[in-house]
Structure 1
Amino acid sequence: MNRREQRLAVDPIACKAHGLCAELLPELIELDEWGYPVIDRRSVGPALLPEARAAVAACPTLALRLAGEAS
């Protein structure tokens, strides 16, 4: 089975700077001075994939997603 590379992506228009993503996944997301997420551009490794999915699911505005993940 060929595993596709997965990266986090944020829709800057939809994001309202709640900060939940950074709380749930500080390894890949930090907040800028206004509270908006700054996403690490590295691919999400298998060890962090459950936390990345939890952060995506917790986003109240649905602004965070995993790009490249099979539907």
Structure 2
Amino acid sequence: MKVTVDDDRCRGHGVCTALCPEVFTLNDDGYTVVENPEVPAEFEDAVRDAVAQCPERAITAV
């Protein structure tokens, strides 16, 4: 699974970082950064939760 964040849509709510800090972090401006675009299998469920719960629908996982 690969994951990306649309920088134009992200508003820094931090839901994704709470759900999967192994993949998502916040930069100095408070917006999400994908630390590992190639998601390890053990974090795929957490990333799917982050996609589903992102208030701005800024996360895509394929």
Same fold (TM over 0.5): yes
More helix by share: 2
Amino acid at match of 1:61: E
CA contact (8 A) 2:4 2:37 kept: no
Under a length normalisation based on structure 2, what TM-score does the superposition of the two structures give? 0.89
Distance in 2, Cα, partners of 1:34 & 1:12: 12
Q: Is 1:20 aligned to 2:4, yes or no?
A: no
**Equivalent residue pairs, number:** 62
Bigger radius of gyration, 1 or 2? 1
Which residue in the other structure is 1:38 paired with? 33
- Structure 1 stretches of 4+ with a deviation exceeding 6 A read none
Which consecutive unaligned segments of at least 5 residues does structure 1 have?
1-5
1:3-53 per-residue CA deviation (whole Å, 9 max, x = no partner) reads xxx211011111111111111110011101221011123411221110010
